[in-house]
Structures are given as C-alpha cells and as structure tokens.
Amino acid sequence: MATHDSQSETIFPPPLVSGNHTFHSVTEAVCSVVEAPPSKGWIASFLVALMGLGILGISVGWLIWEGTGVWGLNQPVSWGLAIVNFVFWVGIGHAGTLISAILFLFRQKWRTSINRFAEAMTIFAVMCALVFPTIHVGRVWLLYWALPIPNQMGMWPNFKSPLLWDVFAVSTYFTVSLLFWFTGLIPDLATLRDRAKSKVAYWAYGIASLGWRGANRHWQNYEKAYLILAGLSAPLVLSVHTIVSFDFAVSVIPGWHTTIFPPYFVAGAIFSGFAMVITLAVPARKIFKLEDFITVRHIENMNKIILTTGMMVGYAYAMEFFIAWYSASEYESYTFVNRAFGPYAWAYWIMVSCNVITPQLFWSKKIRTNMTWSFILSIFVNIGMWFERFVITMSLHRDFLPSAWDYYTPTMWDFGCFIGTFGLFFTLFLLFLKFLPSIAIAEVKGVMPQADPHWEGYGHHGDHGHEAQPAHATADKGGHHG
Amino acid sequence: MSKKRYWRNLEELENTPEFQAALAREFPEDETAKSPDGTSRRHFIGLMGASIALSGVTGCVRRPVQHIRPYAKAPEDLIPGIAQHYATATHIAGRTVGLVVEAHEGRPTKIEGNPDHPQTFGGTTGMHQAMVLNLFDPARLKQPMQGGKGTDWAAATAALKAQFDTLKANGGNGFAVLSEALPSPTARDLRERFAAAYPNAKFFTFESVHDDNQRAGLSAAFGTPHVAVHRANEARVVVSFDSDFLGAEGDVVLNSNLWARNRRLRTVEDKMSRLYAVEGVFSITGTNADHRLRVKSSEVEGVVLALAAEFAKDPQLAFPETLKPHLKATGKAATDKFVEVLARDLLAQRNGPGSLLIAGRRQPALVHAVVAVLNHLLGNNGRSVHYFPDHRRFDADAGDLAGIKGLTDLLNAGSVDTLLVLGANPVYSAPGDLAFAEAFKKAKTKIALAEYLDETAKLADWALPKAHFLESWGDVLGTDGTLSIQQPTIQPLWAGKSEIEVLALAVGSAETEGRDIVRAFWKKREGAVGFYKKWRTWLADGFSKTPFFGVTPSYKAPEGIGTLTPSAAVGGLEVAFVESPFVFDGRFSNNAWLLEMPDPVTKVTWDNPIAIGAATAAKLGLKDADKVSLEANGKKIEAAVVVVAGIADDQAVAYLGWGRDFGSFLPYHETGVVGFNVNPVRSTAAADIAGAKLSATGGTYTLARTQIFDSQAPGFGFAARQLVREAEYADFQKNPKFAKAGILEHGKPRPKAAVVHPPEKGIYEELKYDGQYQWGMAIDLNACTGCGTCMVACSAENNISPVGKDQTRRGREMHWIRMDRYFVSDEGKPADEVQVVHQPVACQHCENAPCENVCPVAATTHSPEGLNEMAYNRCIGTRYCANNCPFKVRRFNFYNFAKDYPETLHMGRNPNVTVRFRGVIEKCTYCVQRINAGRIASKKAATPEAATAAINAITPACAQACPTDAILFGNIADKESAVSRARALDREYRLLTELNVKPRTSYLAKVRNPNPELGS
C-alpha cells in the first residue's frame, strides 16, 4: 500500500488488504496456490502428515485389537489423554466458527481473510476431537448405542447423561460448521471451476459449486443462507464447549463439580482456538505468500483476543481456588491445593505459565505485531491449554477416599493417539490448502477499496487513503470473475 | 478288498512325533500370549492385520462348537440350575474347618464355612475360600509320573505294591515316610497299622509352619504334647505374645469369631474386651490391638518373663518354683511400665470376667510353658483356654523340625532305600541348612504324593497325583476334638488319590477306595449297630455333634516349665519367618486369587518383600522397594524390602511360601516365579527367628500395591477425612453417637466441623423406595479384623478375574470389595508407633447413585429394591460411572481378562453370574443372584414366617465368609431384620453423606478400648 498521511493513520485503521491488489490479482493469488503443481515443501509436509496419520492408524488399531488397557488408565483415573485430547481439539475447533459467525454478525470485516482458514481448522479439529470419544469406549463396536436410533431392544440412550449431550452438541456443531464452511466455499469453487484446465478439476469443482453462476439471485440466496447459518452457528460456539464442560461439571468429583466451568471452558476454547489459528496462519501466509491478505492487523487483532481470553482463563483459575476455599468443602480445597502442589504440580505450573503468564507479553504492541513472537506465544498457548485439560481431568487421581488414590502415566499408545490426530489434522489441512481456496476470494474482494461504490478507480486510490476503507454494503462484493 | 486308510491331515498320515505330541497336548499353550504392553512380533502382525481390516473383524467371529447333552440317567435330587450343597471339612496344616460346598451340576464352585460347625461358625479364611480354584488349577499333576514320564495308576499301583511287598518282607528296613500333618483319625489308624506292617520303618511328619514350640512347651507343662484351644469370648483381656491368632496362626476362624463377640458394642452398657499385642512383626492381630508393645520377636520372651515376675509378686498365687529363677524385668522403662499395667489389668480379671494369654508359634517353648502357667494362675484354664492332647501326631513323634532333620540324617547316612512323601514338599520348604534336595536324591526309590509336580515331586522316581479334598473321602478332627467327615463333591479330575488311599496301599488294606477306608474305620470304632444312621447324620451335618470326639481336654495344672531355659538374646537385626495369610507355607502359591490378595498391612500383592519398619529402614539406609540381600543362618538370598510403619526396630519380617516356579497360568501375569523363597535362610535351629543382615544390592524392585496412600489425613496439613470414624471406649460411653457428630481420630474432636458445605441436591426427582424389600448392608468396623476373607469370597462367588502383578501395579485390580487400610498415629510419636484401621469398601448402592445418571446408554440403573444394578451387556465402556463414583469401587475390564483361561478354570465358575467381557464395567451387586434366589424361596414359602426367614437367610458371599460376622445384610424395610437393627445402633454412620448420595451400606464406627493407665 502506498503511504498514508499522518492524519488518516490516526482516524482510519489500516486497510484489510495490503499490496497493490486488483480483483484479478486477488483471484490469481489465491487460485494459483490450488492450480500450481504441489511444491516440494507441500509434498514433504504432506508425507510427514501422512506418517502422523499412520501413527494414528496403528495406535487405534492396537487399542481396538488389544483393549483399553494399552493406555495408562487405572482405577481412579478412568479418563486420561483421550478425554484431554478430545476437549483440546474441540476447544481448537472454536475459533473457526467464532471468527466466521460471530465476527460476521458483528460486521467485523477483518475476519474475511482468515475465516476460511479458521473454519477449515475448526472442521478438521472437530474431526480429530471426534476420534477420541469414539475410540475411548471399551467396546467401540457398540458405540451406536449412544445414538438415539430406534432399535429392537426398545432402549433409548440415557438423556440425563452429559456424554449424550456431548454427542448431540458436538455432532450439531460439526454439521453446522461444515454447512457454513461449504456455503461460503460455493462462489470460490465456482471460480476454480471456471479456471479449471483439467476435466477432473472441472467436474469436481463443478459438482461442488452446485451450479453457481454468480447471478444476482444466487448472491441474494447466498447472503441469506450465510446469514442464517451464521446466526445458527453463533450460539453453538457457546453451547458446544458449555456442554463439553458439563461432562465434568455435572459430576460429583471435586475439581470437576464446578459451576464456573461453562464460561471458563468457552473462554478457554476461544483462547486456544485463536492460538491455533495463529499457529497455522503465520507460517501459511509466509509459505503461500498471503501476507497481503492475512495482514499484521489480523494477527494483532487475534493476539488481542488471546490476551483477553487468557486473562479470563487466568481469572477462572484464581476463582476456582477462591471458591475451593470459600466453599469450606475440604475435598474441594484439597483438590486445588493438590493441583498446585501435588504430584501433578508440574502440569499445573506449565498450564499457568503458558496460559496466564506468557500471553501477558501481548500487552506490548511490538510483540503482538511481531510474527515470530506471535507464533512462539501461540505455541505456548496451545501447550498451556492442552495442560489445562490435563490438569482438570487429573482431578480424578485424588478424590474422596485416599485409599483409592493413584497416579496416571500415559503410555506410548496414549501419546500415539494424540500425535496421530495431529497427523490426521495436518493431512486434512494440507489437502485443504492444496485443493480448496484457502482465502475467501469473494469475501476479500468485498472488503477491498474497489468494492466501495465511491471508489475512484485504478490509479487514484493511492492518494486517498481515507477512501480506501471497506465498503459498508456487503452485497456489493465483486464478482467471481475478477 | 483293498485296505483303506482314513486320515485327517498329512501329519497323521505320516504319524509324525509332532502329531503325536499335538494329540497328547489337550490344551495347546498360546505362545503368542505375552505381556499386553510388550509388542511381540506376532502381536504386531496381528495388529497390522487389525488396522487393515478394522471394521470387518467383529463381523466374522468363529464361535466354538458347544454341545448340550441331557443326563441320560439323571442323578437323584439333581435339578439342573439348582445348586446343591454338601457338608465337608478340610484342614490347613492340621487346623480344621467345617465347610459347606456349593456344587452346580456336579461341579463345586464355592466353598463356605459350615455355620453349625463348632470350630467354624460359618466363617472361613481366604485360603479356604480359594481352595476351589486349586481344584481346577490346570497346573495340577494329572497322572502318575515315573522318572518324569507319564504313566497310569494301574502301572503305578502294580509297581508300588511290589515295592511295598518287598519292604514288608524285610520288616520295613530302609523304609521311611514323610507326611504332612494329618488330623485324621483314619490316617492315625492307618499309621498304627503301618507301624505293625513295617516295624522297622520310620515315620516322620513335617510342616514348614510348625507347632514344635507349643508342643515342646506344653509337653514341659503337662507332661505330654498338647495343643491350646482358645475361646476369646470368655476373656475381657486378651494378650497375644507374638501370636497372629486373628490372621494366619492356629484356629483362625474359631479365634476370630469368638474374639469379635466381645467387640460388638450394641449399647453403651455393653462391655468390650481389650486386646494387647506384644510383637515385632506387624500382624493382623497387631493391627486390631488396643495396645501394641513393639519389641523384637526375640524379646517377647523377656516380656513374658517380666510379666511372670509381676505375678510372682502376688502372694495369693501358687507360683511354680521351677519358673522363679528365670524371672526378671526387662530393664526397659517403657516395657516394664507396660508389663506392670498389663499384670494389674490381668489380675483384675482373675476372679471376674476372665482373661486369655496366647503364645505365638514362633516363640520358644519356654514362652508356651510360662503362658500356660500364667493362664492357669489367672483361672483361665478350662474357661478361655483348653488344652487338648495333640492328636495330629503320635506323642512319641519328634517335632516337625526334628522330624525333617532326622529324616535328612537318615538319608545322608544312606539308610533310606524307599522314601514315601505324603503331601509335604520338603525340597522346597525344608530349612536351608539341611540341603534337603541333595539328601533326598540319596534315597533309591522316592515316591511323592503331590498336588503339583512340585519341587519334591520333580525329583521323585514316582510322582503320584494327590486328590484335592473336594475329590476325596476322609475325616478330620478339630483341635477341640470335633469330628468332621470330608466328603467329595466331584470325581477326581486327574485320577488323584488321597493320603489315606496311598497309606492304605502301603499297609495292604482290604479297602482301597477312600470311602471304604474311612467307613470301615468308623464302623469298626463305633460298632456296626446303628452305624449307617450315624454315618448319614455325620455326612448331612458335616460333623459329629458329640463333643470332644476322640480327645478330651486336660484341665490339670501345668507342672511348671520342666527343664526349659530362656533362649539366648539375638543382637542387632533379626528376621522373623511368618506364614503368609494367603499362600501359607507355599501350598497356595499357584492360586491367583490368593496371590492377588493385598497383604493386610503392606497392601503388596504378588510378592513377599522383606518388611521392615521406618526406623530400621532409616538405620540401614534402605528405601521402600530397594533390592536387598538377606543373610541369616550363614546363607544368603536376594529379595526386596518394603518399608511399613509399625514393625519393631531391628526387626525384619519374611513371609514363607513364596518364590516358587509354576510356569505362568495367568494370561496377564508375565512370569512363573512370584516373590522370593526365604526357606534357604532358615535353619532347623533358628527356623522362626534368626539374627540377620540386610544390605542393599542396588536397584529398585517393582512392587504392585493396591493402596498407595496410607492416611486418612491426606497431606498439606488437611484434617483427616471422616472415613473410618473411631473413638475410645470411655468416650463412646459418654457420647455413644460420636460417629454421627463427626468425631474421629482417637476420640478427639475435629478442629472444625468436617464439611459445612450444605448438602448437595439432585437436579432430578429422587427415586422413591417404598417396596417390600429394600436391601442394605452394615459393616461393623469393630468386628472387622482386616483379614481379607471377604475379598476372596467375592472373587469366588462373582467370577472375578485376577489380573496379575503387572496389571495390579497399574491399578487395575478387579476386586469388587477392597480392604482399605489407614495408619493412625499421634502427633510427635515416632512413625512406627502407629495404629491401623481397616475398612472394607464395596459398592455402597447409593440411593442417589452418581454413577447412574452419567451413563450415556443407561447400562447402570437402580432397581426398585435399592440395588445399583449393572447391565454388562448394555455397557459400552465409557467409564464415566467409574469416574463419578465417589468411592471408586467400579472396576473396568481393561483387557479380556476372562478369555484366555484354561478350560478347567471355566468349570469352577459360578453359572449364576455373568463372566464379563473386555471393555465393560463391573462392580459389587450385593450378590444379586443370591438375593433373587432368596426372593424366590420366600415366594414359595408356605407361611409368612418362612417367607421372612427365607429373606433373612439371604447372605452375600462377603458376609457369609466373614469369620467375625462383621458384615450384615438384609431387608432394611423390615425393621426387625438384623441389618435394620444394626443401622439403628448409635455407632452407625455412612460414608460421604454430604454428597447426598444416600449409601445403602452403613458402617458401625470403630471403638478402641485402651487402658487408661497406658494412655492412648
């Protein structure tokens, strides 16, 4: 972008798309990633991801062949890494829908460059999450009993069980997120269809784009559908992790039986979700040269959210301790003292360091606009949030009767399943980067200065920074032909 | 016509040796069965296949072909599906219990105590409960073996007969017999006939867990060998001198039951006995003591003499002169104070409620003699203690140790041609100094009758399979002269023969079958007239109701101590050799139920580490689970230590009976050798207590413990949780409802109210329990000794899988009822000055069960009768219920523990209880199968009274087996039922009531009865 005068800088936020982009160059920039033959880097990454997927296959295969005993679980700790990973992945799956739906409803234009990306992340993360409740049960082959399928036994699932609520919440979330993502993809798929050179690509993108022609009628329906889906998704962002938190909060176990869990879990989910978006976006914008679309401003905004939600999570940690003391329940008090100073204190302090202490660095503008720092700190948050779920789940190891207490050590198969889901995630993610437009082309065009009805045309915009603001009418997006 | 051959496969056609071997091997071993976490090559290939065909594998299970065959000729009174009960009896090392065996379609599945038997009262020990597993043990010796090669009984009988005839011809020269203790009148008669047939033959008895000291001590006191039978219910003060009379020593079942009768406080007016224990080891008895004097085992003698010295000061007592020269105080202030107070307490009972002194098996003869004298002086003889002639052996017999030593000497001298070993396993259990294995090899013909191809049978020329007691006829005499008939419930599985059958063969008896031998003996003895009726009555009752059958108690005054003198002091560290309460002397060391039993104090399973106290460990620089070498009697073994508070300083405790190699029969146990064999460091001179040296050899041993955390006060300065609530007797009298008020820990009030959090409320409407039957349980912590019998009984009744050391170490043991043990100590006292509380915990059957609402598939639900039920078939294994159980009593099948069992073990299963598959949760059901049987019986009852009686007769396996009747079960809707009355007692409380879970299991709080003069 050309220089701004100092006044415009103070009044207007920086533009959402930098670089001297035209509608056509936007289409080119995004589509070329898909259309070009896979780079060596992509192939190498994909092979690594496939290896991870292989680890998942072996770990799950061994688990189902041999029994749940291959994991490190024991009598007091009946849930271990599987549930930790489940909550971790579901948490990561929050940012996508939050960015797409809630920011969309609040007309946060800056979301456009990252929403596709984040939604894909959501869907893959939820898929990873769904692996765990599936494989962690003792008899995988009977898992369908947890679904309300009419059957000859006349048995319904137990609607009082938070696990059943989980089944509904996560599957609803997955379905709506998938639809939302797919709806948003339609105009861009049509773009890819129109640019397709091979028959296979033509037919594949053609079928997927559902006959999109960019007609006014199409755009109207599209916008309505998108708005409705955004409206549906928004409460789901809050409900999914609320219900996941019920898995713990509805129990009687000290450290689990806590009313603070729903907001605390949602905040944590957003926290970890945004961290994961940064973890993915920072290298991706570099590798695929998307710096103009995923700008420093995007990263900075997300870092601010991380800072905010990180402090919410920190508040929750403090409040848990306060309530443990204030409740005068000695079991509760013991659980929390044990958390901080007991056998799992190491995990607790990793959690506090990564989730509460390191994100404070984002108070510094220098750090939150620095890509390297953002990436490193996002990794810290990812680690910290994984440990948060670990710490919560490990409340099991010392509950009411000291005679039953034990210590849980995960085995290589526990870790195999965890590492394996990263393989699954990155396999899917790399396929997404390669075969689908990773940035919402149509939407990005809508926030470009060219989309502003008052835009003065190519060649003039450089001198009028204030005019380069996003258009107010979203219906005014550029066509897919660019 | 051409000669056609029909063949199954090429191997058969060629008739290769491999094929022959495969035919002979009935149950091929699964060579792929390895530790589940170690990936073998085969497993890996299996896994690869699984990951490819993941979804397909479940669809193509090949089910084994099963045949259901009707009885062509139905046995009388046998209704398929209805269990039959037979009265029988058995003994462990000569100590008898009367039993009732439950059999399903001819297969014995459960052993219970005979409630009418005067030495049993319906209880048993864990070992008796587990004996049914020994019957079905696939590792048993299955056929006679000649020189390591299998043969059959026809060949064996012919060969042995020829051998015996030759020996008879020369008067038994060079013939020796070594027998285990046989409390059988028939065996005694056969032995007399044997002596007549072989006048020059030698007959020895040997038990590794021997009664030599008592025999010698009471011989000195009474002139002839006697055995002491205790009746602790006749005593207000009971003193144990290193005797684990509530654990593994002597007539445990009888002792426990009678002792508990004076501990059951129903009202404030009830009197309670006081138990003092003087011991170095930390025994089950010690954990139940109101006062425990911690002295080394070798110093107990000094305490007894010091106590006698206090008695000698009383001019009213006729103190024997022979004893007086040995009397002296211990010279230690604390001990002498204890002795002085104890003497006062005992003398106060002299003409009143009575007292009882019990001398331990390991204590020297002098202690037994002095204790007999003191019991007599206190007027206990004939009240709380009865001295019976020892009928298990001939009076002329040398003791067990002298016997095995005599035999070894004969063997070494080359004067034994033929050695017949009946049931004993001396190659394993003889003290190390004898080098018995070497001596054994010197006999020309060695014949061993053994249940397993054990250490002795392996070296024998003839190894003969010994019939299990459930397979053979016999008779056993209790120490108090109660005659019990041992009747079999199943044909010998592997053609075994009993000791009396082999003795009869040696004698050349006209009767060769066990039943004929026993009947003939008793017919001769009782006279033919009316014998049939008498015999039928004995069989039906399981015992003869005539008291003192065959032996009568001796009530004469002890004459003194004869020539016995005090033993020399053992300086420094010493080791006590203790019988294991579960594998005993090694006879149960292939019994997975017993191996998996946690030690009552250390909670270690599948091992026998040398136990030392905290102070000793600090002194020796040893840490828990360190590998050590134990040196005693000039020999050395490798072992590990476990550090447990409460053992005397400079005392090490070594359990007998471990370290035997069986080859694994448990699919999830990785090795065949379990624990350490300590017999090599025993010697005939110091077989029970010996000076010892323990030194670290470097490295840490893996111990599998079922309980890691030992305190109710859970750390970080938190106050103790109100799990086991206890008070002292005086405080109980002041405030009988102390358990409800939340006072615990030595009667001191809590620093603050336990939980002031308001009770939780359910979000769902609570179930109403207004039906006719509402099941509940009450466990009296005052009667519970922590012996663990309930756990074994539960395993036997409910087909619970043992899981092996590795899985136990990972915290996956499957016991539905567990025995929690917490240490209690006063602040400022040394770590070893502890008391112990035991608490059996099974599913509490909460009325508001937190496990139920969390199950997504409704696999666990509540019955209208208040049972928390588990539908195994519905369970998908989310384990959420196990997480949400505040008592952590739910058990998960992490592997298919029950699958890889040998065929014979399946025969011993209870057909009324589902065998659980991998991936499902299981837990205590209050023995719902028994409840249903009782309800059916009640519905069929003719009168309302009979219907109520049928309901009141419902007893879960744990309650049935408990030797102290600490567990009560029944209908709490019936206010007259035993359990309702227990729930109405002042001491009643329930666990975690603040969670609003409303448990159906109540506990009756513990009350200790310390002597105010000694402080608590």
Residue boundaries of the structural domains of chain A: 6-476
Residues 715-744 of B with CB under 8 A from A: 715-716, 718-719, 721, 723
For residue B61 the two structure tokens come to: 């299970």
Residue B922: beta bridge partners?
A: B891
CB B406 within 8 A of CB B398: yes
Would the pLDDT of B69 be above 80?
no
Instruction: Say how far apart CA B557 and CA B227 lie, in whole Å.
Output: 15
User: Which pLDDT value is given to residue B395?
Assistant: 81
Domain definitions of chain B by residue range: 90-211+440-564, 212-389, 574-705
Q: How confident is the model at residue B22 (pLDDT cuts 50, 70, 90)?
A: low
CATH architecture of B212-389: 3-Layer(aba) Sandwich (3.40)
Of the residues A401, A406, A408, the best mutation for testing chain B's interface (the one with the most B CB atoms within 10 Å of its CB) is A401
Instruction: Say how far apart CA B356 and CA B377 lie, in whole Å.
Output: 11
Buried b (16+ CB within 10 A) or exposed e, A162-173: bbbbbbebbeeb
Of the residues A65, A78, A341, the best mutation for testing chain B's interface (the one with the most B CB atoms within 10 Å of its CB) is A78
Q: How close is the nearest chain B Cα to the Cα of A61, in Å? A: 5
Least Cα distance to B740 among B753, B759, B757 occurs for: B753
Would the pLDDT of B393 be above 90?
no
Q: Find the closest chain A residue to B822 by CA distance.
A: A403
Beta-carbon contacts of B181 under 8 Å, excluding residues fewer than 6 positions away, are B91, B93, B94, B205, B207, B392, B393, B400
Q: Find the closest chain B residue to A393 by CA distance.
A: B883
Angle between helices B365-377 and B212-222 (to 10 degrees): 50
CB B934 within 8 A of CB B969: no
User: Which pLDDT value is given to residue A458?
Assistant: 59
Instruction: Say how far apart CA B627 and CA B698 lie, in whole Å.
Output: 6
Residue listed under structure tokens 């580490």:
B609
The whole-number average pLDDT for the span B580-588 is 91
Do the first three CATH levels of B212-389 and B574-705 match, i.e. the same topology?
A: no
CB B802 within 8 A of CB B596: yes
User: Which pLDDT value is given to residue B45?
Assistant: 59
Q: For residue B640, count CB atoms less than 10 angstroms from its CB and return exposed for 0-12, middle for 13-18, buried for 19 or more.
A: buried
Number of Cβ within 10 Å of residue B800's Cβ equals 25
Measuring CA to CA, how many Å separate B303 from each of A76, B296, B757, B771?
45, 10, 51, 59
Instruction: Say how far apart CA B26 and CA B143 lie, in whole Å.
Output: 14
Sign, CA dihedral A458-A459-A465-A466, equals negative
CB B605 within 8 A of CB B818: no
The contacts found for B56-60 with CB under 8 angstroms, 24 or more apart, are: B58/A141
The answer to whether B812 contacts A402, with C-beta atoms less than 8 Å apart, is no
SS3 content of chain B, % helix, strand, coil (to 5): 30, 20, 50
Q: What is the CATH number of domain B574-705?
A: 2.40.40.20
Least Cα distance to B759 among B992, B996, B990, B991 occurs for: B996
Instruction: Say how far apart CA B446 and CA B436 lie, in whole Å.
Output: 13
Residue listed under structure tokens 């001491």:
B987
Alpha carbon of residue B105 to chain centroid: 27
Alpha carbon of residue B716 to chain centroid: 37
Q: Find the closest chain A residue to B855 by CA distance.
A: A161
Beta-carbon contacts of A247 under 8 Å, excluding residues fewer than 6 positions away, are A83, A162, A163, A166, B880
The tens-digit pLDDT sequence of chain A (482 residues) is 444 444 444 455 566 676 677 888 888 888 888 888 888 888 999 999 999 999 999 999 999 999 999 999 998 999 999 999 999 999 988 877 887 788 788 877 777 877 888 889 899 999 999 999 999 999 999 999 999 999 888 889 999 999 999 989 999 999 999 999 999 999 999 999 999 889 999 999 999 999 999 899 999 999 999 999 999 888 888 888 899 999 999 999 999 998 999 999 999 998 998 898 899 889 888 877 778 778 888 889 889 999 999 999 999 999 999 998 887 778 888 999 999 999 999 999 999 999 999 999 999 999 999 999 999 999 999 999 999 999 999 999 999 999 999 999 999 999 999 999 999 999 999 999 889 988 888 888 887 777 777 777 655 544 444 444 444 433 344 444 43
User: Which pLDDT value is given to residue B143?
Assistant: 92
Instruction: Say how far apart CA A191 and CA A168 lie, in whole Å.
Output: 35
Measuring CA to CA, how many Å separate B148 from each of A211, B444, B446, B463, B650?
85, 15, 12, 8, 45
pLDDT digits (tens, 9 = 90+) for B160-176: 999 999 999 999 899 99
Instruction: Say how far apart CA A152 and CA B275 lie, in whole Å.
Output: 62
The answer to whether B47 contacts A67, with C-beta atoms less than 8 Å apart, is no
Kindly state the DSSP code that residue A70 receives in the 8-state scheme: G
Q: Find the closest chain B residue to A146 by CA distance.
A: B857
Of the residues A144, A246, A252, the best mutation for testing chain B's interface (the one with the most B CB atoms within 10 Å of its CB) is A252
According to DSSP, the β-strands at B274-279 and B291-294 are: parallel
Beta-carbon contacts of B698 under 8 Å, excluding residues fewer than 6 positions away, are B627
For residue B514 the two structure tokens come to: 């066990």
Instruction: Say how far apart CA B819 and CA B789 lie, in whole Å.
Output: 10
CA angle A410, A414, A419 (to 5 degrees): 125
Say what the ipTM of the complex is. 0.89
CA angle B781, B782, B787 (to 5 degrees): 70
Q: Residue A431 half-sphere exposure, CB side, CA atoms within 13 Å?
A: 9
Residues 755-774 of B with CB under 8 A from A: 755-757, 760, 764
Instruction: Select the residue of A75, A139, A334 nearest B811 (Cβ to Cβ).
Output: A75
Q: How confident is the model at residue B27 (pLDDT cuts 50, 70, 90)?
A: very low
Residues in chain B: 1016
Instruction: Say how far apart CA A417 and CA A408 lie, in whole Å.
Output: 16
The whole-number average pLDDT for the span B780-799 is 94
For residue B847 the two structure tokens come to: 């009325």
CB A136 within 8 A of CB B878: yes
For residue A95 the two structure tokens come to: 């940012």
Q: For residue B871, count CB atoms less than 10 angstroms from its CB and return exposed for 0-12, middle for 13-18, buried for 19 or more.
A: middle
Class at the top of the CATH hierarchy for domain B90-211+440-564:
alpha beta
- Tell me the pTM: 0.88
Enumerate the residues of chain B whose CB falls inside 8 A of the CB of residue A396. Answer: 883
The answer to whether B887 contacts A404, with C-beta atoms less than 8 Å apart, is yes
**A376: helix, strand or coil:** helix
According to DSSP, the β-strands at B483-486 and B474-477 are: antiparallel
Q: Residue B119 half-sphere exposure, CB side, CA atoms within 13 Å?
A: 28
CATH architecture of A6-476: Up-down Bundle (1.20)
Instruction: Say how far apart CA B7 and CA B799 lie, in whole Å.
Output: 41
Q: How confident is the model at residue B574 (pLDDT cuts 50, 70, 90)?
A: very high
φ, ψ for residue B955 (rounded to 5)? -135, 120
CB A482 within 8 A of CB A27: yes
**A37: helix, strand or coil:** coil
